[in-house]
Amino acid sequence: MSNQTLLSSLCSVCNIKESKYKCPGCSARTCSLPCVKRHKQWAQCSGKRDPTKYVKKSQLATPAGIDHDYNFLSGIERDLEKSEKSVTEKGLDVGLNARPKGDQTQRMDYQLAAAGVKVIRAPKGMSRAKENKTHRSNNKNIIWTVEWIGEDKSRTLTQSSAVEPIYRVHPLFESTVLKKKRKREAEAPSNPESGPPQHAAKPTKQRDSSPQNDSISERQKPSPPMPDLLAPEAQETDDTRGEAPRPDPAHSDTPTDARYNFFLLRPRTSSSRRVLVPLTSSDTLGDALQGCTVEEFPTIYYFPSITPDLPAEFMLDEEYRREEGEQQREFEELMKDVDPAILKRLRDDGTSGKADEEVDSRKILDVLKQDLGVL
């Protein structure tokens, strides 16, 4: 009897051999690797110890308890290292995205200010703030949300890189390229067919030997001028075979540069008309925005180059600055003879505003004129 193995010490899977292993998850006893795999499959057991399982205090200060805690903490460290390595390899900027929204906005404002662009933030919850998806790409370039408004008031939002020229990020640039590509593909089949009439005119001696040639020549008789018309085209195709291939419209700057004029909207001005800053289409978006102010993201108007003047609701930035200068000079002249009591009343009305806000000089000028009896 002493040589017989106890039933409790036998493998719980095969019940033949003596158990050698104990499952950390459910304490099941097994004798070999096949039995371990069979146990996990049958019992749907992960084979891992549950770190949340209750452990008696007396079992904590034991070598097994310490090993369990050490292995648990080591596993967390390994998972963190794997995650950091994966983020580094994929080039993801998880650290920036994991920060609170306010911190992320402040960081983005700092980066945009370093690029020479002042951003006026819209109140939270406004549609313009929700539409703003401006961010930095993996290669550290600024990807702007750009609002494009055409002559017909059509509005389009795009995600445009700051290192791309304005004409290339224009929403109609892609459609223009596609149209030219379709036109080129449609004209391509006609070019090879323009050559055969010359070759078909040469074998005139074989007219009697083949009835098919007779029918072909008869069909060609009613239109004798065709070979003369097609000959220049065939000559052009022969000449262009030795030339370099035509440039891709996507890399052709001249047609798109000449189609539209681009203007950046200057936000929050004292004028009743929209103030536009002219842009050079060949400049990159980042260079065009340098030194400018935008509200959340830039708004660019585009008009056909054949348009002689801007619509009446718009004015150029140069004209706006000239009017502002004249009003400022008139304002300063009136301020020389102003009663201090009037200035105190203006301050009490809150017209001075904050230091970083633009003062509405037109309103102050109208009030001063009324008080001085100019009007």
pLDDT 10s digits, 183-219: 566 566 544 444 444 444 444 444 444 444 444 444 4
Q: Are residues 313 and 264 in the same domain?
A: yes
Q: Are residues 24 and 140 in the same domain?
A: no
Q: Are residues 263 and 312 in the same domain?
A: yes
284 assigned to some structural domain: yes
Q: Are residues 269 and 309 in the same domain?
A: yes
- Structural domains in the chain (count): 3
CB of 45 closer than 8 Å to CB of 39:
yes
Domain range for 364 is 319-372
Q: Are residues 5 and 125 in the same domain?
A: no
- CA atoms within 13 A of residue 196's CA, in its CB half-sphere: 7
Q: Are residues 27 and 39 in the same domain?
A: yes
159 assigned to some structural domain: yes
Q: For the CA atoms of 148, 152, 153, 156, what is the dihedral angle to 10 degrees?
A: -30
Distance CA 71, CA 232 (A): 84
Which residue is it, tokens 């819209």?
A: 122
For residue 362, what pLDDT is reported? 64
φ/ψ of 6, rounded to 5, equals -70, 145
CB of 10 closer than 8 Å to CB of 18:
yes
Distance CA 175, CA 39 (A): 63
Q: Are residues 158 and 278 in the same domain?
A: yes
Collect the ranges in the chain with pLDDT lower than 70. 1-5, 90-103, 174-258, 338-339, 343, 349-375
223 assigned to some structural domain: no
Q: Are residues 153 and 277 in the same domain?
A: yes
Q: Are residues 153 and 263 in the same domain?
A: yes
This prediction's pTM: 0.47
CB of 315 closer than 8 Å to CB of 274:
yes
pLDDT 10s digits, 32-72: 999 999 999 898 888 888 877 888 888 888 888 888 888 88
99 assigned to some structural domain: no
φ/ψ of 90, rounded to 5, equals -85, -10
